[in-house]
Structure 1
Amino acid sequence: MIVISKKIISRPITPQIKGTSKPIIIPQHRDTISCMAYYHVEGILYTGSFDRTVKAWRINEKKCVDSFIAHGGNINDMVVNQQNGYLITCSSDGTVKMWLRVYGENSHALIRVLVFHAYPFHALAFSVAVSNKSFLYSGSTDGTINYWEQEISCRYTHGGFLQGHRFAVLSLVTIENIVISGSEDSTIRIWKREKGRGNIHECLAVLEGHRGPVRCLATFLQKDKFALSFLVYSASLDQTFKAWRVKLSPEVKKSPFGDDDDDREESKSQMEFETSPVLSPSWVKKKLQISRSLHKLV
């Protein structure tokens, strides 16, 4: 039998100080809470908001231990590097920032600002490689996925960007050397980071089925002796939730005499598959109208 315990907090927590009737006022966000991340080592829950602040909550003490203005725009996503405690946030102000809690204190210090373009960032994902290297992925409004490579010294260098989505990348998730992205163009793309090839990324598949922007993603690794198998869960603004089963078969070596007819036909069908996203006609019309309005303003 499985017992699930659920605790719902519907109002601010105001614990009492022993010996007094004065409550401890816990600072609340002034706007929508857009993202959360949990640091397991310290038991700290981070929340990011459209009020441009990040708050750190110590769960066992049920209180906010730090609050700071992190960006000049809405905070859209955040991740925590569980190996070193770095908090990474992204915002509509077009920046990705790295924060670290000051040793022995609760306050946080800005370590580095990662800027590659002026487009708003919507999603972040973190991937740890076997070689002790880690990769940070960020999805932006222009439809690209930028990635940075982190060395052991915690220094990040821009590695490049992944192109394929037509509109904004709204969600990202990683599993081993696989990156999964959900976009405003209603598609989900599966990317593979090739080992020993200069961190080259290849788009393996495009999942089509949603009729609206893909806002949330989650993945679960399945055991399979012969192939990498995992489940992908997606939620969209079309009000549907979908589950996808993905199995990556071992690579087949190409013929040294060049591609045969079957290979060319398979490549052709793959290209046709990738360039035909399923979009709601009314949503596309609205998107194009907004784009035309922005061009007129420029």
Structure 2
Amino acid sequence: AFSADGTILASVGEDGRINLWQWNQEEYTGDYTRTFLGHTSNLLSLAITSDSKVLVTGGLDGIRVWDIRNQRPLYTLADFDHPTYSLALHPKAETLVSGLKNGTIKIWNLNTGQPLYVIRAHQGITSALAFTPNGRTLVSSGYDGKIRVWDTQTWQLKYTLTKHTGKIRAIAINPVNGTILASASRDGVRLWNLNTGKQIAWLTGHQDWVQSLAFSRDGRFLATGGFDRTIKIWQANRTEVARQ
């Protein structure tokens, strides 16, 4: 994951290590700066606050919060009953949401480290989470093949999207307009209008599961990565591949 200002690249893996790089946006190169240690098992998710100061990591042994600038651990969130498969940070960086193996979403106060609410969201793993740029909507996906859209003022369900036929591996929201959602499964990538809840495109260029999604900063392109060992770049307002 990149920080919002594009200067930090962070990665996590099955070795429990968190690696940080200082990223050069002009040369597309990174200089390794630090490894954080503390987790004792596989890491499955990470998120960086919008001010690029705090990193949150989640895995089989819970959630940890790190100070990026001073390169030190801050605290651990007490959530060891169910592994954390997904994380998302509210744009105002005060609220953290975590998606758990048992299908729930837990909402945390990031400043205090205290849990606020628990939502029963999916049957099975909550695989991905994403806020809209204005923070008013949270989108979750699950291994039950469903996408759920939540009102962050009340944490009530707004509607459910159900066209996928298998586990949903990833979701991404266009960072510019905040209304276009991309979701990925074995049956391809689907694009949705979050204002209407309607599917607007179905991208089927991959030959296997689509595992990851990312919009470009200007919202013009969507990158998709799959188990077929290809990365495809799509024009976000069209349905053909621009590059692969």
Give yes or no for the alignment of 1:79 onto 2:78. no
Please, what TM-score do these two structures have when normalized by structure 1? 0.65
Structure with greater helix share of residues? 1
Match of 2:189 in 1: 188
- 1: distance between equivalents of 2:104 and 2:168? 15
Aligned-pair identity in percent equals: 20
Paired letter, 2:164: H
1:239-277 Cα offsets, whole Å, 9 max, x none, are: 1111111326xxxxxxxxxxxxxxxxxxxxxxxxxxxxx
Match of 1:141 in 2: 143
Match of 2:32 in 1: 8
CA RMSD of aligned residues (A): 2.3
| 1:1-298 equivalence runs, <5 A | 2-3=26-27, 6-8=30-32, 28-41=38-51, 43-51=53-61, 53-70=62-79, 72-83=81-92, 85-102=94-111, 107-129=112-134, 134-151=136-153, 155-175=154-174, 176-183=178-185, 185-194=186-195, 200-220=196-216, 222=218, 230-247=220-237
- 2: distance between equivalents of 1:43 and 1:221? 20
Please, what TM-score do these two structures have when normalized by structure 2? 0.79
Deviates most, 158-167 or 113-122: 113-122
Match of 2:241 in 1: none
- 2: distance between equivalents of 1:2 and 1:191? 32
1:75-119 Cα offsets, whole Å, 9 max, x none, are: 1111100225100110111110111134xxxx4000111113432
Match of 1:292 in 2: none
Q: Which runs of 5+ in 1 are unaligned?
A: 13-26, 195-199, 223-228, 249-298
Larger Rg: 1
Pick closer, same or farther for the CA change 1:171–1:8 going to 2, 3 Å.
same
SS at match of 2:220: strand
- 2: distance between equivalents of 1:209 and 1:81? 32
Match of 1:24 in 2: none
Match of 2:21 in 1: none
- 2: distance between equivalents of 1:98 and 1:88? 5
1:36-56 Cα offsets, whole Å, 9 max, x none, are: 1111347111011122x1111
Q: Which runs of 5+ in 2 are unaligned?
A: 1-24, 239-244
- 2: distance between equivalents of 1:146 and 1:39? 23
The answer as to whether partners of 1:218 and 1:233 remain within 8 angstroms in 2 is: yes
Structure with greater strand share of residues? 2
The answer as to whether partners of 1:173 and 1:181 remain within 8 angstroms in 2 is: yes
The answer as to whether partners of 1:186 and 1:211 remain within 8 angstroms in 2 is: no
Q: Kindly report structure 1 stretches of 4+ aligned residues shifted beyond 2 Å.
A: 1-12, 68-74, 116-119
- 2: distance between equivalents of 1:148 and 1:142? 17
Superposed displacement of residue 32, structure 1:
1.5
The answer as to whether partners of 2:49 and 2:93 remain within 8 angstroms in 1 is: no
Pick closer, same or farther for the CA change 1:191–1:169 going to 2, 3 Å.
same
The size of the alignment, in residue pairs, is 211
